[in-house]
Chains A and B, each alone.
Chain A
């Protein structure tokens, strides 16, 4: 049976690669230190595959047909999409092997368990996957199964819903017939309002409150307190990317280590990195 061997989450703001040096030096240093620590933990966990959850920024599906979850089932994942290469300062495409067997298992087994997951053989990649892969899997040495989420087109799923989906995925992945060691990663957040009236704003108070809930490690308390309405108030259409973190949290138990936080308005998002120490039973 497969094993979940690591769970982490980080911001994927395009400024983290596209205009990294526009933020204060302290933020740059914190980001490099925190992502180095994430890579160290990943290396120690020896994963065969990374299952990554991220908002799809209206790239893979038109707005008239946006699924809540989409699995990339291709043999290989190539990014970033042409529209994003200059934006992310990634002139050269990266190529990361996929894990089609596991990806197709997720699509089909989730259907048997009552979840509707769409899929794409050739997923396109924006900052949501490209930025974390740049920092955590820069050589493409770990196979990738990308899972796109809808965190921005109403109706946005609630934190309670995505946590519940996370528990189903957790049970599914552990029941997978292979011997893969699987790391899970949630990307997005923290507070930001991409393109809205508060495009250049971050809500430091909300971010620190949310990270404190993760540090306390009481998942049910977090789900009670961190409602979709609170996320929207902290930055509409962007902060709800934290749903990817909450889904990832369902693979874990107890507190997360907060590796870094920066109210990085220069990067247009509250920026943070966390890692959990214990996986759920």
Chain B
């Protein structure tokens, strides 16, 4: 099985992120009082430090559910201007340089192929996007 099997379902960080995503009060405290939130949810020092350092690789290895990792980065950096040029990408480049470099090369190749088969936007229904 794949990377998701690394998930430690009993890790306090995984319980914490569930509640933070659903609580405006906890989200508002995130950048100013991460240590306090971590204490309230019983995180280990290692968990807190990996969060504080935005260390994607360590978070993944200690069993934070992989889906929560970009969500954690959003808590730090916000959701605005989300793209592959985002702060999240920089964190992933540091954590998984080989995988991320390969992905970006593929993206460039797909984009090049796409530009060669560009088609007119006929028959579109712009009302699909409100």
A→B interface (CB under 8 Å)? 14-15, 17-20, 22, 24-27, 29, 32-33, 35-36, 39, 57-59, 62-64, 81-83, 86-87, 124, 134-135, 138, 152-154, 156, 193-202, 204, 228-229, 232-233, 235-237, 263-266, 268
Contacts and interface: CB of A to CB of B under 8 A. Distances in A.
Contact of B3 (A135, A196, A229, A268): A196
Contacts, number: 172
Contact of A195 (B66, B99, B125): B66
B102 A201 contact: yes
A244 to B, nearest CB: 16
A196 B60 contact: yes
A265 B99 CA distance: 13
A193 B103 CA distance: 12
Given A196-B4, A201-B99, A58 B67 contact: yes
A92 B69 CA distance: 26
Interface residues of B, number: 60
Given A138-B127, A200-B92, A232-B2, A58 B110 contact: no
Name A's interface SS.
loop
B4 A265 contact: no
Report which residue of A25, A124, A195 has the largest number of chain B beta carbons within 10 angstroms of its beta carbon: A195
A223 B79 CA distance: 38
Interface string B103-130: 1101100110011011101011111111
A212 B66 CA distance: 29
Given A200-B103, A263-B110, A153 B92 contact: no
A152 B66 CA distance: 9
Contact of A26 (B70, B114, B125): B114
Contacts of B130: 134, 138
A15 B82 CA distance: 9
8 contacts: A59-B22, A63-B18, A86-B79, A86-B80, A197-B3, A199-B88, A200-B99, A266-B84
